[in-house]
A and B are shown apart, each in its own frame.
Chain A
């Protein structure tokens, strides 16, 4: 399996798609473009409409209005079983009354492929997802959580879809295994060259695996971009806060009130968004565009760095410092802190 020649073209898109359940609008006038061969992740909080969206993309739900396109073909009313796509479900939805091999062969069996050829193909898929051949006759309940993930992946790949959808397949897995599978998924994406469309509410999963990310809120997409762009240049307070810890300062007439500072160089109105790692402790004559004194209220260990909760006047702030640089900062002390405007982002809402 290799990356197609059309890599980078728009392979799947929606045009003003809306989905209503009675009075509830799960997805609103949503327009989206996914490129051929990319690992595209849709992130959003629970109830943001991301699962409804992926079910419409996969043909498991019909949009109330709007259309879904596969390259130049309108597939809005093409049912799931006739689309060149396949979904890996949150529950994995493995057929528990069938063996590992029978699960993987299922799509080919439905197409009338002879048993010998099906078996050969299933074993090939098992090798791709790194399942031993001896698992072919195993029952699903005899497989561990990670092995079941691999069976679900192999089953989806065996149907040879153009696009693979993933509806939060790692959400019920423990942290250690999830980290391993995140790397394996990314590796599988690279090796197969297929388009992966992934849904998650975990920012971390999205950042590790994705080429591009869309952030969903209240049934619509609020920002799309590379993980780095979205993290460092969030388009709104919502995106900034959703993508991790952040300090938000309201700007009025080019000033922020607490800590008091002139930030007119970045803008006169809106919100100034600053990641905790850009808030620095200042020593002696250290320079910074904005400088202020703050009390260290508490300290939290985050592995390779320490997180400090600070109070500067009425404002509660968060700073994160790599452990070797954090010496001398302890709860209860008052210290000088600061940041540069070049590290901050201005958002309108």
Chain B
């Protein structure tokens, strides 16, 4: 009973800490939302006029739709390709013993530690040397170089806690190698694959440093947001940013709902 006041104080401190962290995390997002509800070209608060006209402009503007489409195309290609490459890569990374595995593990992680602007420049130079004209496809390739190792690591985490003898048991029970992969390995990896896919999509969708170097004449959403914030700011910029955030949240929600439904069906 003597401990109760101390526990209560400790609990209040925990709540205050949690509240501070949440405010620091979400305040910038709220700021963007508030900025989008103004009609002035300069950020100031509180607004003299509250309006949603920037949203009407954003939805009516063909250019912003094109930006979303370009970013979506890149993110989709990167998600699909990185998941396929990373699934195989994760098996090589964490599942099988083979000669050179340690070097592979180190080399695979290298692109993550490269500063992205340096990686973007290096890849642009490589593309030029190869005679390729930068566009959204080369950008997708550069995103892949950076994102695939991350997805590989996310999927590998599933494999580290996995009893490999399950595969042997399935084989021993009469399954072919393909059946073992389909019935045992893939379902075990599935949560990692879904997480990796979501990571890949969001990292590509929001990437600026690599896209700046490698999209050529095409423009992605982060590139447009950056350039318009620097040179020609209007409430259209935060409005487009809010729409982009909402779309990425929607994409994550849809994937999560689809995955939950699939799991329920599989049970």
Contact = CB atoms under 8 A, between A and B. Distances in A.
A28 interface: no
A24 B169 CA distance: 26
A159 B173 contact: yes
B84 interface: no
A110 B174 contact: yes
A110 B175 contact: yes
Nearest to A80: B172
A93 B187 contact: no
Nearest to B187: A97
A85 B172 CA distance: 8
A286 B144 CA distance: 89
Interface residues of B, number: 18
Interface string B155-186: 00000000101101111111110010001100
B243 interface: no
Contacts of B187: 97
Given A97-B188, A99-B267, A110-B179, A86 B166 contact: no
Contacts of A82: 174
Contacts of A39: none
A176 interface: no
A91 B165 CA distance: 8
B163 A91 contact: yes
Contacts of B183: 95, 106, 110
Chain B contact residues: helix, strand, loop or mixed? helix
A93 B174 contact: no
Contacts of A69: none
Contact of A89 (B169, B184, B267): B169
B176 A95 contact: no
B168 A60 contact: yes
Contacts of A155: 173
B172 A106 contact: no
Given A81-B176, A99-B267, A93 B169 contact: yes
Given A99-B267, A110-B179, A86 B173 contact: yes
Interface string A67-93: 000000000000111100111011101
Contacts of B169: 87, 89, 93-95
A60 B172 contact: yes
B171 A81 contact: yes
Interface in B118-169: 163, 165-166, 168-169
A127 to B, nearest CB: 20
Interface in A87-129: 87, 89-91, 93-97, 99, 106-107, 110-111
Nearest to A58: B172
A156 B175 CA distance: 13
A95 B165 CA distance: 10
A59 B171 CA distance: 10
A81 B165 contact: no
Interface string A157-175: 0010000000000000000
A106 B173 contact: yes
A290 B163 CA distance: 56
A95 B174 contact: no
Contact of A95 (B172, B184, B267): B184
Nearest to A106: B173
Contacts of A86: 172-173
A95 B166 contact: yes
Please name the 4 residue pairs, one residue from A and one from B, whose CB atoms are nearest each other, closest first. Answer: A93-B169, A93-B165, A107-B173, A110-B174
Given A80-B168, A93-B163, A106-B173, 7 more contacts: A60-B171, A80-B172, A81-B171, A81-B175, A81-B176, A87-B169, A110-B176
Interface of A: 58-60, 79-82, 85-87, 89-91, 93-97, 99, 106-107, 110-111, 155-156, 159
6 contacts: A58-B172, A80-B168, A81-B172, A99-B267, A106-B170, A156-B173
